[in-house]
Amino acid sequence: MTSAVLDPRTPVLIGVGQASERVDDPDYRGLSPVELAADAARAALTDTGADPAAVAAAIDTVAGIRQFEISTPGARAPLGRSDNYPRSVAQRVGAWPGRAILEVAGGQGPQHLVTELAGTIAAGGCEAALLFGSEAISTARHLADAPDRPDFTEHVDGDLEDRGYGLRGLITRQQTTHGLIGAPVQYALLENARRARLQQSREEYARGMGELFAPFTRVAAGHPHAAAPIARDAVELVTVTERNRMIADPYPRYLVARDQVNQGAAVVLTSVAVADRLGVPPEQRVFLHGHADVRERNLLERADLSTYPAAVLATTHALEVAGIGLADLATFDLYSCFPIAVSAVADGLGLTPDDPRGLTLVGGLPFFGGAGNNYSMHAIAETVQHMRDRPGTYGVVGANGGILSKYSVGIYSSTPTPWRTDASDRLQAEIDAWPAPEPAVHADGGATIETWTVSYGRGGARTGIVVGRLDADDRRFLAQVVEGDDELLDLLATGDPAGTGVYARSFGTGNRVATSRDRMDALRPPRPAAFRTGPTGYEHVLVRRDGHLLEVTINRPESRNSLHPPANEELDEVFDAYFADPELWVAIITGSGDKAFSAGNDLIWTAAGKPMWVPKNGFAGLTRRPAMTKPVIAAANGFAMGGGCEIALACHLIVADETARFALSEVRVGLVAGEGGLARLPRALPRALATEMILTGRRLTAQEALAHGMVSRVVPAGTALAGARELAAEILASSPTSVRTSLQIMAETDGIPDTVEAAAHPSPALDDLLVSADVAEGVAAFAEKRHPRWHNR
């Protein structure tokens, strides 16, 4: 099929280019990411075989791959950066496009953009596109402290379609809590899951990783743009030495994607009509024959952590779209940040490491270089060149993003072909319907190791991370090895841990595992449900007992009684003790001073980069406590903001002084009321008012809160605690057994919408009450016209 019989809008790749430099090169220039991308783009424009200036003038769309320094919130750019990367590059090569795109983070980006913009061209929404990406991480590290360091800051006007970070599902609170943030430790969990499935010894599996990647090093050694062009054999790759130190078991440094690179790559994509108009020679043209884009389930939702079925499904479908089989492929470049990224796809497709066609054209991320999110742009460039050199053959690029999370596939050939659509939406629906293990956010009890890794710090520190299954119900959980359990760390680092029994216990800082319950009790003893005594007491909390009443005061007036982890931990201990003590019947929580009940989360602590966590029972030990079996009264003396408002809402009753103000102010600082405020406020107030407060941070006065039923009493300024004591005294005059039973039945029926059904709810608490001593005492006291003497049983 020639271009003459193709639809003029058929997309075609007409130019590719690459650029690089090393800091030890004699002609090293210290180029910025923009300049590296521009060099690659100029090479791509020249590679078309047409007039580069004419090709640049025809470009109506530019699309840039995000550098690492703009891929996550708060990432640093030591030498500065452009605020419009795509247009910065475009201007340097003489292109003035109407549309500029900054793609989401992830290594799938280059192939995804080629597929997307090819479809846009086929639909008539674009005629010529320039795609590019680049990293100057090596230069940034090399020159960051130089006295004459360059400034790469640029401001460029013009529209920018910034698609955001695209990190949904890749960074979760649970993973962050357990130190599962960096790519090596996450991939290591998947790698060890594969070892467990194959039932290989540590030595056998290491040898396999080395044999997989040794050919990659040879390809990189012959590539002019490789960051580490050194051929290594399988043994050298996996032998741990001072230079090849262990990063995360089973990965020594040589098996980990290399991010110290200065590299750029670019692709020119047009319609056949534009290629004809520009005079692009037929031999320069390469077509996209098949393609697919899918997203795998989130990490801990995958049924089998050792496989990558979404990528296999996408690759198989791309071949179907192209109308060819696996045997028809002449070249491969499978994304290779870590061995599992290659082997999981190869396993599913039936490829072996010694396939004579090879599994990479570029050399792999640990050896050619992990050019940020842009590695596969280099793979596409190489594939295009190979397709030109071997007319009529087919090559595949498999581009991976996240933690085996997002996969984009392209099938290329010089054979002209009309545009073919794929069925990725159907594939994605199939993937989304796959069964997932039930998760356990808080893991307690006996368990079995499913997969594991040990992360190594430069100073020799080790952190063990485990994915396990609870023996009781097979729920999957994530945990760290408890501090001090060197026996378990040694097993993870040197043994065969899969299937080993361990003991799990949950804390506010996450789940921990130890070799046994006795070992866990020795290293992290269960906290006794008792109040601290002695001269140290509590640092951030004041506690006062008065008969059956407990008064708890948040004692951080210098920070408006905001809470940081140590204060939250103390409050959690106090309320554990309160709910466990049968002689305490009512509790009051208030704030020190007269300015604030609590300003919620201590943002100064958070902004300083200190670790922020809350106990399992939530803010102040209350907002997520599963059973509030005895009354807690909030004495709101001043501002109850953010988490402070959430604490008040978690209490059974609120007494507010007339100066009190209530607000869920999290949206004002880029957060949400995640400690129950989003659920409780719409139940405490008319929904429209609650929604307004949640979305704007509006402050509610004490009188407004009283009018809407959110607080039970408003008292004069400075008397919130006195008012709460009066309310507590009224409750204490009642049977504590009846009060406790009433709270239980209210909680049991809270979710029953039908009033009659709720009234008829058969609570076992009512049965227990009817045989309690308090019932007999209450009836006798009434008959004898005296005050009852409650027994609380």
- Region 39-61 average pLDDT: 98
Q: Assign domain 3-169+255-432 to its CATH superfamily.
A: Thiolase/Chalcone synthase (3.40.47.10)
d(CA 144, CA 696): 41
Dihedral pair phi/psi, residue 591, rounded to 5° = -115, 150
CB 662 within 8 A of CB 668: no
Q: What is the pLDDT of residue 738?
A: 87
* DSSP E strand stretches across 375-489: 394-401, 406-413, 445-456, 462-470, 476-481
Q: How confident is the model at residue 792 (pLDDT cuts 50, 70, 90)?
A: low
What tens digit of pLDDT does each residue of 727-761 get?
A: 999 999 998 888 888 888 888 888 888 888 888 88
Contact 264, 227 (CB under 8 A): no
How are strands ordered across the β-sheet holding 661-663?
596-598, 639-641, 661-663, 700-701
**Cα–Cα distance for residue pair 437/455, rounded to 1 Å:** 25
The helix/strand/coil state of 463 is strand
Quick: pLDDT tens for 232-254: 999 999 999 999 999 999 999 99
pLDDT-derived band at 396 (thresholds 50, 70, 90) equals very high
Q: Which residue has the tokens 């910065």?
A: 88
- Tens-digit pLDDT profile for residues 566-599: 999 999 999 999 999 999 999 999 999 989 999 9
Q: Which residue has the tokens 């992360």?
A: 455
Contact 139, 227 (CB under 8 A): no
Catalytic residues: 646, 666
Residue 426 is predicted with a pLDDT of: 97
Q: How many CB atoms lie within 10 A of CB 566?
A: 15
Report residue 620 as tokens: 């102040």
Q: Taking Cα atoms as reference points, which of 179, 456, 216 lies closest to residue 334?
A: 216
3 state DSSP class of 656:
strand
> Which of 468, 405, 402 has the alpha carbon at shortest distance from 440?
468
Predicted pLDDT of residue 619:
94
Is the pLDDT score of 75 beyond 90? no
Please tell me the distance from the alpha carbon of residue 624 to that of residue 571, in angstroms, as a whole number: 13
Residue 534 burial (CB count, 10 A): 5
**Cβ distance 220 to 371 under 8 Å?**
no
Torsion sign (Cα): 784, 785, 791, 793: positive
434-466 pLDDT tens trace? 999 999 999 999 999 999 999 998 877 899 999
Phi, psi dihedrals of residue 720, rounded to the nearest 5°: -60, -45
Task: Report the DSSP beta bridge partners of residue 334.
Answer: 398
The pLDDT tens digits for 764-775 are 877 777 777 877
| Mean pLDDT over the full length of the chain | 94
Predicted pLDDT at 520: 96
Task: Tell me the CA distances in angstroms from 387 to 13, 265, 317, 360, 384, one per residue in order.
Answer: 11, 17, 21, 14, 5
| DSSP one-letter string for 700-744 | EEHHHHHHTTSSSEEE-TT-HHHHHHHHHHHHHTS-HHHHHHHHH
Pairing relationship of beta strands 541-546 and 549-554 according to DSSP bridges: antiparallel
Residue 2 has pLDDT above 70, yes or no: no
Q: How many residues does the chain have?
A: 793
pLDDT of amino acid 4? 56
Q: With H, G, I as helix, E, B as strand and everything else as coil, classify residue 422.
A: coil
> Residue 785: pLDDT above 90?
no
Buried b (16+ CB within 10 A) or exposed e, 641-665: bbbbbbbbbbbbbbbbbebbbbbbb
Q: Is the pLDDT of residue 552 over 70?
A: yes
Q: Mean of the pLDDT values across residues 195-206?
A: 97
Nearest of 264, 94, 77, 102 to residue 154 by alpha carbon: 77
| Beta strand pairing call for 445-456 and 501-507 | antiparallel
In three-state secondary structure terms, 123 is: coil
Kindly tell me if the per-residue pLDDT of 357 is higher than 70.
yes
> Pick from 650, 674, 652, 646: which is nearest to 743 by CA?
652
Would you give the end-to-end CA distance of the chain in angstroms? 89
**Per-residue confidence (pLDDT) for residue 756, from 0 to 100:** 87
87 pLDDT higher than 80: yes
Q: How far apart, in whole angstroms, are the C-alpha atoms of residue 376 and residue 398? A: 8
pLDDT of 204 over the 70 cut:
yes
Which of the four pLDDT bands, split at 50, 70 and 90, describes residue 487?
very high
Q: What is the pLDDT of residue 73?
A: 86
Q: Which helix (H) or strand (E) holds 503?
A: strand 501-507
CATH topology of domain 541-732: 2-enoyl-CoA Hydratase; Chain A, domain 1 (3.90.226)
> What is the C-alpha to C-alpha distance for residues 710 and 651, in angstroms, rounded to an integer?
11
pLDDT tens-digit profile of 299-345?
Answer: 999 999 999 999 999 999 999 999 999 999 999 999 999 999 999 99
Q: Which tens digits make up the pLDDT trace of 139-158?
A: 999 999 999 999 999 999 99
102/163 Cα distance (integer angstroms): 6
pLDDT at 34 over 90: yes
Which pLDDT band holds residue 776 (cuts at 50, 70, 90)? confident
CA angle, residues 14, 15, 18, in degrees to nearest 5: 160
Longest dimension (CA), the chain: 109
